[in-house]
Amino acid sequence: MTREATGTLLSCRSGIKVIDATLRDGGLVNDFRFSDDFVRALFAANAAAGVDYMELGYKADKDLFDESKFGKWKFCREADIIDVLGNNETEMKLACMADVGRCNFRRDICEKGSSPLDMYRVATYINTIPAAIEMLEYCDKLGYETTVNVMAISKETEKETDLALEMLGHSPAKAIYIVDSYGALYPEEMRVLAAKYMEVGDKYGKQIGIHAHNNQNLAFANTIECVAAGVNYLDATVNGMGRGAGNCALELLLGFLKNPKYKLVHILRFLEEGHMQKLRDGGAVWGYDLPYLLTGIFNRHPSSAIRYIKEKRADIIDFMNELLDQE
């Protein structure tokens, strides 16, 4: 696989792909209860802004998740997608996440010719890589593009990471993602990981992606560090909306990228129109906060920090000591 030179801050790479994950990662904040008008407005803004892929949500197993407790984007049924967005006549492609162990993929994923979706993003931990490869092969045979997100990579050893990357190198995945699920990594560490992933990508003809969380206010910094290293698949969300501390903000990323195909003004207009503020006014909470800082520093799942905020606690030092006691 021959890659373009990474270039400078004033150059652009045609191989870069921007993926908006607002509905998917942001859906973890509000149980995927986005209004149809919100989804249509976001779709239009992304398409006009030159975003390459819009991730609509999950293909979750209805036997595992009570449908009455979630909005439609938890399940991403073809009929719902078409009902809200119609036939996608834009250049932007549509994606969906399939989570290993939480998706009945043989029952719920249909052939590409019967779906408005273009790509499945398989999410896995290292210990479920074989199951992820089975899902990737299944989706590939149905005609979809596929990528794979190796979650919580900050918790894994170098040996485990190397083995996982070798296994995924033989899969049909178009791109392999670095995923900083806990927002624990620093740019220097991202640089090392990106080099490791890129080496495997070059060996097997894979693109490399980055999905960063903002626990230490480093999601944007880590993302552009990966861009400098040659990573081409870049996840972001509008206003950084995502689980807990959220993600790399799409408006920051588009402002950084120099390719004229990306037009920041359309995302700014979406924000100016108040779509994200309405979600906050409705009770959706995300973004950097002290408990997320601590789970990031200590490389912990953000669930305890999410619970801390929901309980409206103010004893941040006690919370830090609770995390330390878990060592």
Tokens 């790509």 identify what position? Answer: 119
Reading phi first (left if > 0) and then psi (alpha if -120 to 50, else beta), residue 10 is in alpha
268-274, Cβ contacts within 8 angstroms, sequence gap of 24 or more = 269/45, 270/41, 270/42, 270/45, 270/238, 271/238, 271/239, 273/41
Rounded Cα distance between 318 and 291, Å, is 11
Low-confidence ranges of the chain (pLDDT < 50): none
- Tell me if 103 sits within 8 A of 61, measured CB to CB: yes
Q: What's this model's pTM, rounded to 2 decimal places? A: 0.96
Q: Side-chain half-sphere of 176: how many Cα atoms within 13 Å? A: 32
Rounded Cα distance between 296 and 316, Å, is 14
80-85, Cβ contacts within 8 angstroms, sequence gap of 24 or more = 81/56, 81/115, 81/116, 81/117, 82/116, 84/36, 84/39, 84/40, 85/39, 85/40, 85/43, 85/116
Per-residue pLDDT at 194? 96
Model confidence over 50-83: pLDDT tens digits? 999 999 999 999 999 999 999 999 999 999 999 9
DSSP code string of 23-79:
HHHTHHHHTT---HHHHHHHHHHHHHHT-SEEEEEE---TTTS-GGGS-GGGT--HH
Distances in whole angstroms, Cα of residue 326 to Cα of each of 151, 184, 266, 301, 303: 21, 17, 45, 12, 14
Q: What is the CA radius of gyration of the chain?
A: 19
Per-residue pLDDT at 227? 95
Q: How far does Cα 127 stand from its chain's mean position? A: 20
Per-residue pLDDT at 119? 98
Contacts of 318 (CB under 8 A, 6+ apart): none
- Tell me if 46 sits within 8 A of 20, measured CB to CB: yes
3-state class of 119 per DSSP?
Answer: strand
Contacts of 314 (CB under 8 A, 6+ apart): none
Question: Tokens at residue 209, please?
Answer: 């992606």
Contacts of 91 (CB under 8 A, 6+ apart): 47
Q: Side-chain half-sphere of 285: how many Cα atoms within 13 Å? A: 11
Per-residue pLDDT at 6? 66
Model confidence over 208-220: pLDDT tens digits? 999 999 999 999 9
Per-residue pLDDT at 12? 81
